[in-house]
Structure 1
């Protein structure tokens, strides 16, 4: 049997698919009870990794792992489930599928973790391996919950250290090429008013791409040159969601102060667009991450700026690095939407840090 398959027969009987392909009664009234009963009836060697995990990230029937997570408000984005299922079937089931789950040990997993490569036989980054081992740990932890094993063997696996160095910032010279002083030249670089305004907001505020893409005219406060949102674009679902990325670990809103020039561009765009989103495709679809990255890459190649390792998100890193030289830590965190310092965004040189501290001390001593 490759996976557990259940269905309700009326209101009070749950059936399971037997190895002979026929539906049989579990004698249980709910799927949650039936899942527990099913594994209790199997011999240990029959409960393989594939049998247990195969539909773990797509089955949301009552009592399933996904059902429990969704009922408790965890992993609410469809993209997370899609990514886990992809990792499960690309890396984990091919390796561990036939192994009885109780026989999977820390040493076995450790040896595989250090040696396995990508599907194209290329070396994977520490960050990529981290996602895969975390997916495996999620499966094994659920096996603990289901009573199939006593301990998650992934917990004692020695992990490869991930060095999150952040993204390389854009220099002042590059920014001048990207955002020339003349509006005609600016629009020529980006192709039209909408894209010019979009990326001007990004460099002025450090907002994430999806947050800018969800902006409406109601979020523009002209008297302050301010913008505000509590929404963002979910590129996986291609929908506007009522949360921003840091809602759980940061502020539930984003604020930004734009330059006078960007404010004028926003006002022009509002006049063109009217109601609804300020940033959409020509046929009124929302801007998703793939299109934004593609447009950014095309425009930068056209003006001769290397964007290797520097997606649009690198403008956020550039923003924090610049404002960290002007404002106090609390102000920077507020603008970034963080409640604690994110060192990976701070790319100031030692000289810039010292200069800022020196200037601040002078102000305090006056």
Structure 2
């Protein structure tokens, strides 16, 4: 029998019942749903379902769309992608978020992705047809990509953000039928896909930061390194914020500090907090007795009050250098860090503080506007323990019922 069409049909189950899928001869691996429910009188004619001329018409219309747009360039498709006034993807996501009751994109989300599009994606891919973009091409481009601002290789986290922006664009191109598959989705993230910054256990923390200062110095190799990491664990500071700390920041009568500065890791310049653009320009942190005793010892060593307390070779500490020292020190203490880094000390602080303090207070000390779920590693048992004061209320409710 001669094929009447360059496609065939297949019945597949959906939530609404069985529907027709069209399978094109040139792309048999990617059936497309027509959205049309199966006719109960259909005699299993896979070439043209009985009484369903509209299904055949849909298949041809979809085929025409694929052929018309097969050579559309990345630049033509992505030009205004992250503009909520012009891009259907952005509008659709905003509607989804509103209807689900979730918060819309953060203030920086769309502008940041738009900057990645303008600065990195369009200069390379503007004239390339969407269907000519390959996994190999994307991967080879990313590994050689330099910062447009500094002219040096981009950090893995920055490369991942650029790749995520490209994935979203290519995902929408696939959704609209411009390409058969999203090549960007097959490129591996540089920072490790799905890795979470797991906290340390309190047993590990006690080993890393013992009460015996001499023992701690043996782990960390110096009192300064001990204090640097202790600031991150007991105050939840980011590495750059700890690196910008000066003894003059210590407000002794209030047992803490108001943090206003951080070290920009790439340039090692002193700047404001990472959250300055979000309106959080200062963060109050309370010091533990242990931290204050260590800072007092550093004062006795005659460290300058208005200079960086923590330096390497006379300059600010780079995050990569600190991470190497952190892992080596943890190993000396007998702690296996695995994929955990110094930043996990901040996650540990956040998680343990939430077990003991009101969320709003933890948010202030962490420098966040709202509770960040990815920082919260509490388990079910932690929430159950926190709920114990409610037991009296539960008992009273039961008495009232009886």
TM-score normalized by the length of structure 2 = 0.55
* Alignment root-mean-square deviation, CA: 4.1
| Change in 2 beyond 3 A, CA 1:104/1:119 | closer
- Of residues 328, 336, 340, the one that matches 2:366 is 336
**Unaligned stretches of 5+ in structure 1?**
1-44, 50-73, 138-151
Deviation at 1:126? 11
Q: In structure 1, how many angstroms separate the alpha carbons of the residues matched to 2:185 and 2:246?
A: 43
Deviation at 1:233? 0.1
Deviation at 1:326? 0.5
> Any conservation in 2 of the 1:205–1:257 contact (CA below 8 Å)?
yes
**1:266 matches 2:295:** yes
**1:287 matches 2:331:** no
Paired residue for 1:348?
Answer: 378
**1:327 matches 2:352:** no
1:254-292 CA-partner distances (Å, limit 9, x unpaired): 221121111121122234212333433354211121221
Paired residue for 1:231?
Answer: 261
- Of residues 268, 281, 295, the one that matches 1:252 is 281
1:177-221 CA-partner distances (Å, limit 9, x unpaired): 101121111112111111111111111011100001111123111
1:280-318 CA-partner distances (Å, limit 9, x unpaired): 335421112122112111111222222221110000011
Paired residue for 1:184?
Answer: 214
The secondary structure found in structure 2 opposite 1:273 is coil
Paired residue for 2:226?
Answer: 196
The secondary structure found in structure 1 opposite 2:275 is coil
The secondary structure found in structure 2 opposite 1:307 is coil
**1:104 matches 2:129:** yes
> Any conservation in 2 of the 1:254–1:337 contact (CA below 8 Å)?
yes
- Of residues 293, 296, 301, the one that matches 2:326 is 296
> Any conservation in 2 of the 1:220–1:227 contact (CA below 8 Å)?
yes
> Any conservation in 2 of the 1:113–1:129 contact (CA below 8 Å)?
no
Larger Rg: 1 or 2?
2
The secondary structure found in structure 1 opposite 2:311 is coil
Q: In structure 2, how many angstroms separate the alpha carbons of the residues matched to 1:88 and 1:313?
A: 30
Deviation at 1:172? 1.6
Q: In structure 2, how many angstroms separate the alpha carbons of the residues matched to 1:153 and 1:199?
A: 41
1:112-152 CA-partner distances (Å, limit 9, x unpaired): 3599656899xxx9996552252698xxxxxxxxxxxxxx7
Pick which of 251-260 and 125-134 moved more: 125-134
Paired residue for 2:163?
Answer: 132
| Change in 2 beyond 3 A, CA 1:153/1:294 | closer
| Change in 2 beyond 3 A, CA 1:363/1:342 | farther
The secondary structure found in structure 2 opposite 1:248 is helix
Q: In structure 1, how many angstroms separate the alpha carbons of the residues matched to 2:388 and 2:200?
A: 25
Q: Which runs of structure 2 are paired with 1:53-92 in the superposition (5 Å)?
A: none
**1:317 matches 2:347:** yes
Aligned length: 262
| Change in 2 beyond 3 A, CA 1:250/1:189 | farther
Deviation at 1:323? 0.5
Q: In structure 2, how many angstroms separate the alpha carbons of the residues matched to 1:364 and 1:333?
A: 29
Q: In structure 2, how many angstroms separate the alpha carbons of the residues matched to 1:364 and 1:155?
A: 50
> Any conservation in 2 of the 1:170–1:314 contact (CA below 8 Å)?
yes
The secondary structure found in structure 2 opposite 1:296 is helix
Paired residue for 1:276?
Answer: 306
Q: In structure 2, how many angstroms separate the alpha carbons of the residues matched to 1:207 and 1:126?
A: 19
**1:174 matches 2:199:** no
Q: In structure 2, how many angstroms separate the alpha carbons of the residues matched to 1:334 and 1:363?
A: 30
> Any conservation in 1 of the 2:142–2:159 contact (CA below 8 Å)?
no
TM-score normalized by the length of structure 1 = 0.60
